[in-house]
Amino acid sequence: MAKTTSNSSNSVSVVRSEMAPDMPPPIRTDGIVAWLRSNLFNSVSNSILTILSVLMIYYALSALIGYVVADAIWQGTTGTDCRVEGSGMCWPYIFNKLDFFIYGFYPDTEYWRPNIAFAIGAVLLFLLATPRIPGKMIWGFLFLIVYPVVTFFLINGGGFTGLVEVPTEKWGGLMLTLVVAVTGIVASFPLGILLALGRRSKMPMMRSVCVVFIELWRGVPLITVLFMASVMLPLFLPEGTNFDKLVRALVGVTLFTAAYTAEVVRGGLQAVDKGQYEAADALGLNYAQATTLIILPQALKMVIPGIVNNSISLFKDTTLVSIVGLVDILGAVRAASASQGWTAPTIPITGYFFAAAVFWVFTFAMSRYSQYMERQLDTGHKS
């Protein structure tokens, strides 16, 4: 509603007594059309690149879907059924060897034991990874301290457990990959933090020891570390002492990853503003209190991408344990591809595609969760 007024000069003005209703924005400035115009088609060069990218993605997905679904062989009992010219993946091979890909040479009558161990680990990891669930100290203690012991006795058996003993030589497949990856990630993280703090220590001896350790382990490839852990580690032990082959690999992987984690954490410690150290001193906190309560939480928050990157790299590097006689998921795929009854041109490609898909699922999940944690811990003020 508006009122019309006039004055001596015969000028007319309109005074609105209430706000006009909001009108929807033009379609060209809001919504999917505006997003496409501003991000993908905002210039001639970007428009050409967008069209080319869409065509490349279309042809790539068409070929992939054709190989995995449309042209794939879905029924059969041997490799002979997959010897069809122009055919895609041999899914009967995956279905037939799936247990071997997951458990390796583990006895099929005892599959329930690693299944229970995986289920317990998944539940504890969910409780730890969900911010809204309270009791993080309890879940962390159970996952880091209690769970590894329970898992070892459950999967290995023997002793007081009353379960059939299954030596680590029979562990394999995805089960072994997860054991090596989770153990290496969890055990190397606190060790890496200690090495990072030691390298920044004001004590010359402590700093020198940490520097030598980090540079030594970072200066050799992981394949060399595994060979050393498998061959040379027993030389440093008392005579008659024999370490399990899997334990040697776990020690080598843990020490190797800890060196890289230490440098990532050290970068976060250096990124913490000097004023935080001065504030801790002003509050009268000692070194341990200032580090655990003020400095380290800020440093770890800033290096989440680097830590997750190391974890993803370690997860993929678990395939190198095959050089010391352990059969991970990739080793299981190679062994199954050479088995009798499953010889066809598409069998090796099918197995490697399956292994690649498994690795991608785990690494993508780790990457997405790290981005989620970055958003949850972001305390900056965005303009």
pLDDT, tens digit, 9 for 90 and up, residues 209-249? 999 999 999 888 988 888 887 777 777 777 766 778 888 88
For 237-259, give one letter per residue: b (16+ CB within 10 A) or e: eeeeeeeebbebbbbbbbbbbbb
Instruction: Dump pLDDT digits (tens) for 94-115.
Output: 999 999 999 999 998 999 999 9
- Residues of the chain predicted below pLDDT 50: 381-383
Rg (CA), the chain: 29
Q: Residue 383: its pLDDT value, please? A: 42
Q: Residue 284: its pLDDT value, please? A: 86
Q: Residue 212: its pLDDT value, please? A: 94
CATH says 90-106+166-377 is which class? mainly alpha
Q: For the whole prediction, is pTM greater than 0.85?
A: no
Residue extents of the structural domains in the chain: 90-106+166-377
Q: Residue 180: its pLDDT value, please? A: 92
